[in-house]
Amino acid sequence: MGVVMVLILVVLLICLLCKSSVCFTGSHSKDPVGKSSHKFQILGRTSFCSGSGRYLCCKSGTWKQTTGDTSNHQTNIPRAIVTDVFDVEKPIVFTYEEILSSTDGFSDSNLLGHGTYGSVYYAVLRDQDVAIKRMTAMKTKEFMAEMRVLCKVHHTNLVELIGYAASDDELFLVYEYAHKGSLKSHIHDPQNKGNTSLPWISRVQIALDAGRGLEYIHEHTKTHYVHRDIKTSNILLDSAFRAKISDFGLAKLVGKTSEGEASVTKIVGTFGYLAPEYLSDGLATTKSDVYAFGVVLFELLSGKEAITRTEGKVLVNPERRSLVSIMLAALRNCPSSMSMASLKQCIDPNLMDLYPHDCAYKVAMLARQCVEEDPILRPDMKQVVISLSQIVLSSVEWEATLAGNSQVFSGLVQGR
């Protein structure tokens, strides 16, 4: 009897060892008809979630397409990516051939623009409009930064990551496509870029959308992030002009310190949006993102860029001034919304005075709070979102009063 029990235990032990070895040899589970249950392998750790939400196993160092392609296409992943460990939630691995074909060989007609760390192309990938960021393999750090954030963080006001691909010398990130492009193209000389000027109600709604996205990564994620590159070109608009924050290549985790949450880094970002304390000591905090957001609010209000050139001196030693200094100077002479003559001179002429003056004043004052020199005096994004929500409601009420003027009202709706 004892011998029989020992034999049974030995058999069970062998079975368990055989089952566990399946994962480490890179095999795929199959359904009853013998087809692979998963189309793609997800890069990084031994086990990851596939597009179906199930788990699969892969060997470290390479990934293979498992759709039954007889070419058995294999792409070598840069070692820096393979050794990195992060949690992934359903990104799809595309082949280089798919990326190349969908962008028409990276043709200029598909080029959407140049970002901080790569070029972005429009593509139709598996019957879906997407945007593809193309980076050199030298940009592994930025590639991984975006993967870390966007595989974990999902919000309607953050651009969604669909998947990625890699070749021997290039890296690719595949995002949802923002049909209306960047906010920058709609508020800085929009007519020359083939766009109509944004009406007031769209501007404040876009500000609220972007604020909610930023608040989410600051306040509501399991680990908090600081974006470090908030600007109008990194706020994208969908077909309904709803805003989504993009480009997380510079995003950083923020850790707890005695003075709150902070991350000491080398100075990166875009001049005109950088907070004073970040420039002086490289301390990236959520309040440095708030400063940059305040600059965006000033841009929405004025139609001017974060760094402006003095008019009439473009060709000969143009004087460059920050938009913050211009708007703060205007606000010094505006004690209330009833006496805002100097502020009106700074408001975007494309609005043609079609905006509620009290709401414009509130946006300007909120922006001023966001760009306070002392970060302690700046509001957090939760407070900013509350203020913007109230401004949007007041703006909607103002718009409703214009319904009797059909020409004005239809113009606002059409512009939206």
Extract the annotated binding site for ATP: 139
Measured between alpha carbons, how far is 156 from 212 in angstroms, rounded to an integer? 9
Q: How many helices (H) and strands (E) does the chain have?
A: 13, 20
Long-range contacts of 31-36 (CB under 8 A, 24+ apart): 36/66, 36/68
Contact between 248 and 161 under an 8 Å Cβ cutoff? The reply is no
Measured between alpha carbons, how far is 393 from 256 in angstroms, rounded to an integer? 35
Contact between 300 and 203 under an 8 Å Cβ cutoff? The reply is yes
Active site residues: 229
Helices within 25-166 (DSSP H only): 79-82, 96-102, 140-150
Q: Which residues contact 173 (CB under 8 A, 6 or more apart)?
A: 132, 133, 135, 143, 146, 147, 161, 164
DSSP assignment of 250-283, as one string? T-EE-EEETTEEEEE----S-TTS--HHHHHH-E
Measured between alpha carbons, how far is 203 from 187 in angstroms, rounded to an integer? 9
- Binding site: residue ranges? 139
* Farthest-apart Cα atoms in the chain, separation: 101
